[in-house]
Structure 1
Amino acid sequence: MEIEQRERDLTGPGSRKASGRRRSRAARRALIGVVAGCAVFGGAMVLLPTVGFTPTPPAPGPVAGAMTAVAAGMPVSLRDLTALVRDREAYLRTHPRDAASWAVLGTAYVEQGRRTATPGYFPKAERALRASLTAGPTGNLAASQGLAALANARGDFRKGRTWGETALKLAPKQWTTYPLLIDSFRGLGDYKASRKALEKLQKLHSGPPVMARAAQVYWDRGWREDAVAALSDAAAGARTPAERAVWLAEAGRLAWERGDRAESLRSYEGALRIDRNEPAALAGRGRALASLGRVPEALRAYQAAFAGRPAPGYALELGELYQAQGLDPAARAQYDLVRARVRTETAGGVDDTLVLGLLEADHGDAAEAVRRLRAEWKRQPGIGVADALGWALHRAGKNKEALTFAARATDKEHGGGVRSALYVYHRGQIERGLELTGAARRHLAESLQINPYFSPLLAPLARRTLDTLGEPSTSSTALPSELDEDPAFPEPEVPEPVRTSPAASAPDDSTAPTASVPAPAGSFEAPAPAASAPPTFSAGPATGGQRPESSTAPRRTAPH
């Protein structure tokens, strides 16, 4: 009887009402959870392109944030980028036909390779992006954008433009394509096209990423104050620390280009307070410190920058700083390291012709520099290539032809307003070789007016050359009095050792880096034949390399 009574109690009207209330509360809790989850996911996805980019999302958090940044071409921290790569790799092992996730993974590889100067990521990126096109061959906007970003990162701006235009045809109103096209147009020296692309971008979107891109275009037009203001606004409105660090480092570069070494140092150190291993800020800090006479600190900053991002350009700058200090064996070892790094990057599909051409013109075989740069000019005739080819021709003793390229790099008609102290210096020395004394004096003085500290080797040489040319006939081209003396570059007490595989370090100058250069992590690959791994690098024998001379006689040395 007691058991029957309990059953009646459990199944009676009162019990049913209580059970209904419990179910109602549970349903409400479930509904609230679903709504909250949708809100979080919607916030993470709000910046994602709405056309051709719908990968299965990761859980909300750093990975979702990195996916948003990668999709929009925004700066992202390396830690979050690595987390995103691992997340998509794991997902694709069980979902190999997800075209959108392949595109995310490929674009993330591109960013890893670009940020760390590890070219081994680029073949991985290409395989992932090609896998995306195979899985989703129709209307695949994300893969087209990823391939445009990959081509730009490799320095193949023609191919970058082609893929960018493909993406634009797929989605003419998708704003994230226009920054890629701007990069391609700038690389090709087509500043008119980059301005038009910016105008269309500004009609479609606004905010910090557009401001940062506008700063680049404004600088190319010679609108220096507008460029600085736009970049300052971008950094102030940055949504993440990674964005702010990258844009502060870019602000430091602009300050350096206009000769404001103190402001440049402040911007770089501001970036490093946010991200202590930002390579561009470390290298820029090295430039600023060297110009301020703090050479031992500058050497350590360069070494740390090269550890975090072993780009050939950083090795070249460090070598020239060594040479300016009279540390010729260390400089020659760095120049050999540039060549080794170029070979490594070439294996990953990266075009380093510009860096190698300048290296050979100043510190190696000028005839070899001319050969390489002529081929590059035929392939993609940008302003930087015109300057480098003109300089290489001058170093090879072909000043008449050199001047045509130097004029193209410095004339507003072709350069779009770019004011580069290095380009103007090169033109001045070429004109001196042609005995165009007035023009040479004017351009050498102008190079120092643009940036009195543009090179630890060449800026002092510009001053000495002006001294040999004598005073101008009018005061209009005279060097300002504050530029009459060379900046102080004191000798370090002990020569800094050359480090071919240093570790990334903070801007703390109390220690020097010691670890190895990063390599692509993991073994995850797209379902395609794997490319051969790029060769590792090390410094070759220390040979060759001389201090640039003011003489215009051709200088040829055996190639290394």
Structure 2
Amino acid sequence: MEMHEQEEARTGAAAPRPARRVLAASVAGVAGAAVLGGALVLLPGARTAPPPAPGPVAQARDAVASGVPAALPDLALLITDREARLRTRPRDARSWAVLGAAYVEQGRRTAEAAYYPKAERALRTSLELRARRNAPALDGLAALALARRDFPAARRWGEAARKRAPKRWTTRALLVEAYTGLGDHRAARRTLAELMKLHSGPAVLARAAAVYRDRGWREDAAARLADAAASAGAPAERAAYLERAGQLAWERGDREAALRHFQEAVRTDPDLRAAQAGQGRALAALGRTTEALAAYRMALARQPCPEYALELGELYESLGLAQAARVQYDLLRERVRQAAAGGVDGELVLGRFEADHADPRAAVRRLRTEWRRQPGTAVADALGWALHRAGRDEEALRFARIATDRVHGGEVRSALYSYHRGVIERALERYGPARRQLQEALRINPYFSPVHAPAARAALAALGEPQVRDVPDFTAPRCRSGRCG
């Protein structure tokens, strides 16, 4: 023993034996590893543990940075984390940008517009601290404008971000939505092409699906959404794409497929209230009224969107429950007022409500102003319908054509838009076009509204079968160069 200790002292190996045993065990645990030149080299057949999965804060941070949906609990943790960090590092521009983007997503997911002023303050603080090369803050401001339904501002911030960072793919995704909201479908398609060259993945597939849907390419849109849902990295993101697939199925009148998508979306992310409202829509069309009412109430309890209140109010109205409908319409007005305090533009949903259930002339004034500011397809349809309800059918037809004619940019196949145009054509005694539009509405989706779908069927029945004067005479001689024969 004494000679052994002397040898250790001579060679400098002063580590005690237990430490050596621990070291030996550690080396043995790295199977197939060798140290060469101070570097750890994995030999063939070596196995390494997978990297640890990112925690909820990191997951939410990555989601908001990529512009994809994040889980509500993860968002809450991210907000708490960034707020705590900024209390000790108030000049951290990157953290301000992340916090602002998280506020935007939290407001969008909960329909609580009070988050939006917080988001704007955080994002502008980020820009003040780092004005140059701060595309994340500019992206955040564009996303905020989209959440507020302010498409001109979204375009301005998005184009500023693109100028600062020309290769940033997330900016293109925001710009596609901004251009669509402004009715500039050519710019939206061009920007989508740029986006698809810069990046691929589920977020890009979902954005492409939205553009294809607006062009009337429903099968292509459905295929892109299916691919997006299959390749989504997180449950919240996958649920969002399933909800959009359900909405697409609903728009083409496939009640069963729509309900399956909405149900799967809720199972994947129970906090996705848009999917719960979608369940209400599909269940009502299937005649499962009690379940539909429960689904709508659940969605509104946690995300009181004016659009859901309008849908539920009209469902009550179709059931003859006028008082219950009025409660929802009052909620709609109150939610629009509260959202306006957070900078949200609720003029479209309020105009649609007023045209059918309140004051059509007020709806015309409101929607005409909205059209001048952001002339999207949905605004054209709503303004045309409000003009009809106010007794101004000639002008109404002009906007109805914008919403439905491919020549005017109305490529989306919407049962509601076709129904509106059919009723306007009928009021102008254009019975042939009216019949075609009403038939188209019911062909696209026979269940598109609990109030308007029955009205479409009644109007079509009142028009009766086509008269001889409505049918083109294919036996008449064709005229060329001003001469017939």
TM-score after normalising by structure 1: 0.77
Letter in 2 for 1:466: L
Contact between 2:432 and 2:470, CA under 8 Å: does it hold in 1?
no
Q: Determine the C-alpha separation between the residues in 2 that align with 1:256 and 1:227.
A: 13
Q: 2:46 aligns to what?
A: none
CA distance in 1, matches of 2:427, 2:17: 96
Deviations 1:302-324 (A, max 9, x none): 01111121110000000000000
Q: Aligned partners of 2:16 and 2:196: how far apart in 1?
A: 58
Give the drift of 1:13.
2.8
Match of 2:174 in 1: 180
- Using the TM superposition, give the Cα deviation of residue 475 of structure 1 relative to its aligned residue in structure 2, in angstroms: 13
Point out where structure 1 has 5 or more consecutive residues left out of the alignment.
34-38, 45-59, 478-560
| Structure 1 residue corresponding to 2:208, chosen from 206, 214, 233 | 214
What amino acid does structure 1 have at the position aligned with 2:149? G
Partner of 1:75: 69
Q: Which of these residues, 304, 317, 320, is aligned with residue 323 of structure 1?
A: 317
Is 1:447 equivalent to 2:441 in the alignment?
yes
The whole-number CA distance in structure 2 between the counterparts of 1:188 and 1:475 is: 40
C-alpha distance in 1 between matches for 2:108 and 2:235: 19
Aligned-residue offset at 1:272:
1.4
Q: Secondary structure of 1:339's match?
A: helix
Q: Which has the higher contact order (CA 8 A, sep 6+)?
A: 1
The DSSP-based 3-state class of the residue aligned with 1:314 is helix
The one of 15, 20, 34 aligned to 1:18: 15
For the 8 Å contact 1:9–1:15, the answer to whether it is kept is no
Distance (whole Å) between structure 2 residues aligned to residue 363 and residue 256 of structure 1: 24
> Are 2:376 and 1:382 equivalent residues in the alignment?
yes
Indicate the structure with greater helix content: 2
Which residue in the other structure is 1:226 paired with?
220
Paired residue for 2:262? Answer: 268
Instruction: Measure the CA separation in 2 of the matches of 1:249 and 1:442.
Output: 31
Aligned-pair distance for 1:446? 0.8
Structure 1 distance, partners of 2:6, 2:296, is 81
Query: Once structures 1 and 2 are overlaid, which stretch shifts more, 74-83 or 446-455?
Result: 74-83
- The alignment of Structure 1 onto Structure 2 pairs a total of residues equal to 453
Whole-Å separation in 2 of the counterparts to 1:336 and 1:324 = 17
The aligned residue for residue 86 of structure 1 is: 80
Match of 2:458 among 456, 459, 464: 464
Amino acid at match of 2:355: A
Question: Which residue in the other structure is 2:385 paired with?
Answer: 391
1:113-132 equivalences in 2 (<5 Å)? 113-132=107-126
Question: Is residue 57–residue 75 contact of structure 2 (8 Å, CA) maintained in 1?
Answer: yes
Shift of 1:61: 1.1
Q: Deviations over 1:265-296 (max 9, x none)?
A: 11111111212231111000000000010001
Paired letter, 2:446: P
Separation in 1, partners of 2:373, 2:6? 88
Match runs of 1:57-456 below 5 Å: 60-456=54-450
Superposed displacement of residue 17, structure 1: 4.4
Would you say the 8 A contact 1:255–1:261 is kept in 2?
yes
| C-alpha distance after superposition, 1:141-188 (max 9, x if no partner) | 110000000001000001001100011011111111111001101111
Q: Is the 8 A contact 1:410 1:424 kept in 2?
A: yes
Query: Which residue matches 2:47?
Result: none
CA deviation string 1:431-466 (max 9, x = no partner): 111111111111111110111000000000001111
Post-superposition CA distance 1:187-239 (Å, at most 9, x none): 11111111111111111111111111111111111111111011011111111
Match for residue 538 of structure 1? none
**Partner deviation per Cα, 1:326-373 (whole Å, 9 max, x = no partner):** 000110111111111100000000001110001000000111111111
Separation of aligned partners in 2, 1:263 and 1:74: 24
The 8 Å contact of residues 104 and 144 in structure 2, kept in 1 or not, is answered as yes
SS in 2 for 1:18: coil
Gaps of 5+ in 2: 31-37, 41-49, 472-485
Closer/same/farther in 2, CA of residues 400 and 80 from structure 1, 3 Å limit: same
Please give the secondary structure, in 2, of the residue aligned with 1:176: helix
Distance 1:469 1:127 in 2: 57
Match of 1:550 in 2: none
Query: What displacement does 1:473 show?
Result: 3.0
The 5-angstrom pairing of residues 496-535 of structure 1 reads: none
State whether residues 421 and 448 of structure 1, in contact with CA within 8 Å, keep that contact through their aligned partners in structure 2: yes
Distance 1:19 1:451, change over 3 A: same
Output the CA distance in 2 between the equivalents of 1:299 and 1:349: 30
